[in-house]
Structure 1
Amino acid sequence: MHFKKNIISLYGKQGEDWLYNLPNLVKQFAKIWGLSNLKVLPNLTYNYALSCTQGNIPTVLKLGFYNPELQYEIQALKLFAGHGCVAIIEHDFEQGAILLQRAVPGTSLKTLFPKQDREATLIASQIIKDLQNIKPHKLDDLPGVEDWLATLDKNWNIPKQYLEKARELKKFLLATTTHKALLHGDLHNDNILSCGDNQWISIDPKGGIGDPVYEVGAPVRNPVPKTIKNDAVQKIIEGRIDLLAEFLEFDRQRIFDWAFVQVVLGACWSLENRLDPAFFLKMAEAFAAIEKYKS
């Protein structure tokens, strides 16, 4: 239900037409790519995804309304080439179709919260390390972090102190970035899935380039609703920062700053997509109350 509402909200009549044609697209690509056992996956948001098999290989067919961001996802998947991220098997950019390796059993990392939060943070750290071991020669075709952060420069109905602080930190962090990495860009808990015994892998990369420390913002704050509802939210955030800094050898203050900027950015994106920013604003409040990293 949310999926259809999201598509129509974003794309209007064109979105309605695309939704109407979805069954035909599924049949088309099932035939072209030799897919069977197709089942719609739960919790769809902006893409239509089905578990399936290609021969004996567990796969996922992902269909999205045409937009330029799909091209960045495909590029990132190709560049990661199965290192820390699912492998891309087939794609048709013009029709918004991607066939991917399926993570089996595919349990979300968020299921480890709160009892195994330390383990979840270390798993995310290892995924980031695997992703950043990839050193592509050419990254010019992907958006930069600065492109994502441009949303902060618009006027938003959120507390002024959070927006101004995020803008200030954005300028500082971009100006002090010494080298850039290929970024997943959307490494929240539902985008890290179990894949075999004690193995985990990421899915759905946004695809971009920028400060390697940018990547840790998502593991610091996620899962957003559950983390913010926990009475020990500030202690949880500090503990995650300590683990990420130690494992990845990143500066703690820089991790905190990027994480705060992304929380405010998340509130702005929520408003941009006509969604409620409440959880992101509560998270920004939790960050602002942490004395240890105030600058």
Structure 2
Amino acid sequence: MNKRFKEKIKAAFGERGELWLEQFPETLEVICYKWGLTVEGEPANLSYNYVAYVKDAMNRSLVLKIGIPGYDFSNEIKATKEFQGEGFVKLYNYDEKLGCLLLERLTPGKMLKEVEKDEQIDIYLTVWNRFNRQYSEDLPHIHNWFNALVNPVSNDFVTDEQIETALLYKKEIEESSRGNVHLHGDLHHENILFDEEQGWVAIDPKGVQGDIYYDYISFLFNEINGDLVLLETRLKQITSKQALEEQRLRKAAIALLTVQVIWAVEDGAEEAQEMNEVLAYLMGSV
């Protein structure tokens, strides 16, 4: 467990995160004993959950994911169960109380971002279209995310006018929606991996439900690096290939990106400024 990961946990969860980190060695030992696991290593790019490569008593190579137990991690478990099937990582076991998931290990596990940009859209949409998009009362509504725009943390990026616009577009999406379905909530280049047996597979759902347009947004903004031409290309291609309303997709993108900028500010993320520049561009395009 690297230093940067610990700092992110403390910044995001405060005292609760610090306590979780203190108890983590014991938690890991309990989980490994319970499921007969041996830890072999961990990836370098930990985000807000601990991930380890493990082997079980049958010598299977698996992935152990441990997060802070509670509402968000429980929803990830629910979503992982809901999405089981073709094109999604296999779930072997889980424990809500301990906050952990035992998943298949995808080999070689190459991320979508490692593929040439002109090939990414078709791979992404192939995975996207495999999802079980049924309605579920067990998953929270993505509209809860927009609570971040009510009395947002003080910042030098998002203006009151931008927040008003985001809430207006959120309302428009809600009023024109054809209904709520399962959403991955975070389907982007790092959450689509290549497996030599299954092809491209999705991992790490947030576990929400809502209008289907919202599930395109994470991919739109990921790996942009300020390239607005690339953003426009993605918007046009997704709209065309999925038969979507372009203006509606832009409005959904503006609404959700405003939330993500506020989150980035709250977490002290360096990307907040770049994200807000993209947001300003999009607002000027509608």
TM-score by length of 2: 0.90
Q: In structure 1, what residue type is equivalent to 2:4?
A: H
Mean CA deviation greater in 173-182 or 249-258: 249-258
CA distance in 1 between partners of 2:151 and 2:202 (Å): 31
Tell me which stretches of 4 or more aligned residues in structure 1 moved more than 3 Å.
10-14
**What pairs up with 1:235-246 in 2 under 5 angstroms?**
235-246=229-240
Separation of aligned partners in 2, 1:18 and 1:155: 27
Letter matched to residue 61 of structure 2: P
State the AA in 2 paired with 1:5.
E
One-letter amino acid of the counterpart of residue 26, structure 1: L
**Alpha-carbon separation, structure 2, partners of 1:20 and 1:155:** 30
Using the aligned pairs only, state the percent identity: 28
CA distance in 1, matches of 2:24, 2:209: 32
- 3-state DSSP of counterpart to 1:62: strand
Structure 1 residue 200: Cα displacement? 1.2
Q: Deviations over 1:237-295 (max 9, x none)?
A: 221122212322222222222122222111011123333421211221332344xxx2x
**Structure 1 residues 135 and 275 mapped into 2: Cα distance closer, same or farther (>3 Å)?**
closer
User: Is the 1:121–1:219 contact (alpha carbons within 8 Å) kept by the matching residues of 2?
Assistant: no
User: What secondary structure sits across from 1:228 in the alignment?
Assistant: coil
Post-superposition shift, 1:70? Answer: 0.8
How far apart, CA to CA, are the structure 1 residues paired with 2:39 and 2:263? 36
- RMSD over aligned CA atoms reads 2.0
Kept in 2, the 8 Å contact 1:153–1:167? The answer is no
Q: Secondary structure of the equivalent of 2:194? A: strand
Map residues 98-109 of structure 1 onto 2, 5 A cutoff: 98-109=101-112
CA contact (8 A) 2:133 2:183 kept: no
Q: Number of matched residues?
A: 279
Change over 3 Å in CA distance of 1:12–1:37 after alignment to 2: closer
1:64 corresponds to: 67
Q: Is the 8 A contact 1:228 1:282 kept in 2?
A: no
The residue that corresponds to 2:279 in the other structure is: 284
Q: Tell me how far 1:61 sits from its aligned partner.
A: 0.5
Match of 2:10 in 1: 8
Given that 1:129 and 1:248 are in contact with CA atoms closer than 8 Å, whether structure 2 keeps it comes out as no
What is the aligned partner in structure 2 of residue 50 from structure 1? 52
Provide Cα deviations, 1:17-65, integer angstroms capped at 9, x if missing partner.
3212222222222222122352122111211110122324331101111
User: Partner letter of residue 274 of structure 1?
Assistant: G
Q: Which residue of 2 aligns with 1:163?
A: 163
CA contact (8 A) 1:122 1:244 kept: no
What does residue 128 of structure 2 align with?
Answer: 128
